[in-house]
Chain A
Amino acid sequence: MIFAFDIIILVFLVVAALISLNVKDLLSASMIYGIYGFLICLLWAEMGAVDVAFTEASVGAGVSTVLLVATVFNTRRRSSD
């Protein structure tokens, strides 16, 4: 656990969360949610939780992004907010 590394990732994490919730294009929102998942995976790897980081890398950054994109393709891409 390195404090400087922690600060950088956590700041990026908050920024990624805010952008993915405020961007109006839902496809971009899904992709930025994937970035958010990957940053969280980095944070866990840094905390020593390697198994959790591995799961998050495959689930959060991989499968859940694909599921969101699949739904966005089958519904509407624009969002009002």
Chain B
Amino acid sequence: MLSKVFATIAVAITGSILLYGVSDFPAFGDPHSPANAGVPGSESVSLYFIEESYKDTKVPNIVTSVLADYRGYDTMFETVVIFAAGMAIFAILRVVGNKEETAAKAAEEDSFTNGDHNRIIVGTTVRIVVPVIQLFALYVVAHGHHSPGGGFQGGVILGASFIIIALAENLNAALRRLSELNYVRLAAIGIFIYAAFGIMAQVLGSNFLDYGALQPIFMTDGPEMARSHSMLGVEIGVAFTVTAIMFAIYANLASRGQLVKGL
């Protein structure tokens, strides 16, 4: 009870200070606010992205080009953070060993699945829907240059398709398609792909993640298309990691780290 009183007082004080601060903000939707246009003497960097990013990279979606090219270093380590989160869950939750108990549970699980006729309808529907979801996820990854999308969104949708299999049938059905060894490998390969693009640029005599230097590898007309193609490669790497980690988080949380039965 005391904590509630204290919380209300703290929230009231913080909230009133913040509400008072709001009155000094630029108006909502003002195109000439400091965040949108910069202050006199120093222009906002977003103006450069809007005006020049298409000339630099030939990618119509400005968000993708800023995400994967101009701020590529940032995105790479965001991906590493996601990988680290997956590994942390592995370290916290995963129970290894005790084979007999696991086998007994799996047997119990099988009889449960065979006897439950409701799961037939849901399972069949999911089996029809999942390929469509996965195809859409690949489209989102591949078409991220021209429409909303990219590695993060496509990866989450691809991971969600495995989660749907695990929800509709059981966790083992999903793990047959993407086993624990494979998803850990997939997560590591994703980061490796991302880093490989950076190191390739370094080998070719430019800065880390400066994709323009990859022009001889992609055999394009200019550095712009090389940057565009490298962005696709990098997005695929991100999608690998995000897919694997999203499924890994679900699999460990749903089975208390035992990777059998699931919900």
Query: Which residues of A pack against B, CB within 8 Å?
Result: 1, 50-51, 53-55, 58-59, 62-63, 66-67, 69-71, 73-74
Q: Helix, strand, loop or mixed for chain A's interface?
A: helix
Contact residues on B (Cβ < 8 Å of other chain), bracket:
20 to 34
- In the complex the two chains form, what is the Cα distance from A63 to B160 in whole Å? 7
Q: Are the C-beta atoms of A55 and B160 separated by less than 8 Å?
A: no
Q: Do B153 and A73 have beta carbons less than 8 Å apart?
A: no
Give the distance in Å from the alpha carbon of A70 to the alpha carbon of B93 in the complex.
Answer: 13
Known contacts A70-B263, A74-B253, then 10 further A-B pairs from the complex at CB < 8 Å, ordered by chain A residue = A51-B61, A54-B140, A58-B157, A59-B156, A63-B156, A63-B163, A70-B253, A70-B254, A71-B253, A73-B263
Q: Are A66 and B156 in contact (CB under 8 A)?
A: no
A58 pairs with B160, CB closer than 8 A? yes
Q: Which residues of B contact A50 (CB under 8 A)?
A: 148
Q: Are B153 and A66 in contact (CB under 8 A)?
A: no
A74 touches B63 (CB 8 A): no
For A59, the chain B residues whose CB sits under 8 A away are 156
Alpha-carbon separation in the docked complex, A59 to B158 (Å): 12
Q: Is the CB of A66 within 8 A of B150?
A: no
Interface string of B145-171 (1 = CB under 8 A from A): 000111011001101100100010000
B50 CB to nearest A CB, Å: 13
Cα(A26)–Cα(B142), bound, Å: 38
Q: Which 10 A-B pairs have the closest CB atoms?
A: A50-B148, A70-B254, A58-B156, A70-B253, A51-B63, A54-B148, A51-B148, A54-B153, A55-B153, A58-B157
- B156 contact set on A, CB distance < 8 A: 55, 58-59, 62-63
CB closest residue in chain A, given B61: A51
Contact B160 A74 (CB under 8 A): no
Does B256 reach chain A (CB closer than 8 Å)?
Answer: yes
Distance in Å: Cβ of A72 to nearest Cβ of chain B: 10
Contact A51 B253 (CB under 8 A): no
How distant is the Cα of A58 from the Cα of B246 in the complex, in angstroms? Answer: 11
Known contacts A1-B29, A70-B253, A74-B256: A54-B149 contact under CB 8 Å: yes
Q: Does B183 reach chain A (CB closer than 8 Å)?
A: no
Q: Taking A59-B156, A74-B256 as contacts, is the C-beta distance between A66 and B250 under 8 angstroms?
A: yes
Given A63-B250, A71-B253, CB of A55 within 8 Å of CB of B152: yes
Asked if A74 and B254 make an inter-chain contact with CB atoms under 8 angstroms apart, the answer reads: yes
What's the least CB distance linking A50 to chain B, in Å? 4
- Show 9 A/B contacts (Cβ-Cβ < 8 Å), sorted by A: A54-B149, A58-B157, A58-B160, A62-B156, A62-B160, A63-B250, A66-B160, A70-B253, A74-B256
CB interface residues, B 1-39, toward A, < 8 Å: 29
The answer, among A1, A51, A69, A70, for a CB contact under 8 Å with B153, is A51
